[in-house]
A and B are shown apart, each in its own frame.
Chain A
Amino acid sequence: MEGMVDIQIHEAACRGCRMCLDICPTDVFAFDEGRGMATVQAAEDCIACLSCAYLCPSNAISHHQFHAVKNFYRDISFCRRMERFL
């Protein structure tokens, strides 16, 4: 397993919708009722699925130091043969 993912919430951008709390499978976020915004409470549990970042309507969440999935491998000759059937 890699080291801990670095997650940042842009405080001015967060509109307090709680969607990140709902989507996160490992309960990384908490909600600060006083400030009406999401906070990071357990960054060490983040699996870097990036669902929160994709979902956040304010684009307020960013991740650093995580494993980005490898790019697609393209085998052009195999592709050409197979595409005849697709």
Chain B
Amino acid sequence: MSQRDEEELQRTRETLQETMNFLGAVAAGLEDAVGESAKSITYLAGKNLGHRVCVGARRTNDVEEALVELRRVLKENGCLWTFDRFYSKASRSTSAQEGADEVLLVFRDCMIRQALFSYGHPQKGSLCNMMFGFFAGALETIMGRTSRLEIKHAGENACLKCLTIDR
């Protein structure tokens, strides 16, 4: 990557992070004003965003390929939102529920967590719901399937989430 590209990427990330900080404050205010429905509002906003950024993405029905494509789209948009598959010592594959695929994901660098911490907001609130919406919208566009992203653990340096994709 040339120095100019790196500077451009840095600028994009700075702006995105600040936008996220701003959204964090808005989401916290929204929670106070409208309570639980704040989560539906941020979910729908995230879903809309997921649809839009994935319009030109490659379509696939394979979970692994869809996650690779989603990572590529995030990177292309300058988003520092890294996630990896998590395999425990005991399991090494995608587990199948009845009518759904289930994968565990570890989120490391996360604009949302950073935004929440910078203003002292708790995790698992409406801004995290925006990310569920983002994944739901993105995977609906890439795979044509509905999905849910559930937080199993929200940590200080990483979060563990379970992604369930309906068949």
Q: What's the dominant secondary structure at chain B's contact region? A: mixed
**Are A75 and B160 within 8 A (Cβ)?**
no
Does A68 interact with chain B (Cβ within 8 Å)? yes
Closest residue of B by beta carbon distance from A67: B108
Closest residue of A by beta carbon distance from B113: A69
Closest residue of A by beta carbon distance from B106: A47
Considering only residues 99-142 of chain B, those with a C-beta below 8 Å from chain A are 106, 108-110, 113-114, 118
**Are B156 and A50 within 8 A (Cβ)?**
yes
**Are B156 and A49 within 8 A (Cβ)?**
yes
Does A26 interact with chain B (Cβ within 8 Å)? yes
Q: Mark B9-25, 1 if CB is under 8 A from A, else 0.
A: 01101111111011001
Closest residue of B by beta carbon distance from A74: B14
Q: What's the dominant secondary structure at chain A's contact region? A: loop
Q: Mark A65-79, 1 if CB is under 8 A from B, else 0.
A: 011111011110011
Q: Mark B25-47, 1 if CB is under 8 A from A, else 0.
A: 10000000000000000000000
Closest residue of A by beta carbon distance from B108: A67
Given contacts A70-B80, A70-B109, contact A48 B157 (CB under 8 A): yes
Does A86 interact with chain B (Cβ within 8 Å)? yes
Closest residue of A by beta carbon distance from B29: A86
Q: Whole-angstrom distance between the alpha carbons of A16 and B158 in the complex?
A: 25
Does B152 interact with chain A (Cβ within 8 Å)? yes
A1 neighbours in B (Cβ, 8 Å) = 84-85
Does A25 interact with chain B (Cβ within 8 Å)? yes
Does B155 interact with chain A (Cβ within 8 Å)? yes
Q: Closest CB of chain A to B42's CB: distance in Å?
A: 17
Query: Can you report 29 residue pairs joining A to B where beta carbons are below 8 Å apart?
Result: A1-B85, A25-B153, A25-B160, A26-B88, A27-B88, A45-B88, A47-B158, A47-B160, A49-B155, A49-B156, A49-B157, A50-B155, A50-B156, A51-B153, A51-B156, A66-B157, A67-B158, A69-B114, A69-B158, A70-B80, A73-B13, A73-B18, A73-B80, A74-B14, A75-B17, A78-B18, A82-B18, A85-B22, A86-B22
Does A42 interact with chain B (Cβ within 8 Å)? yes
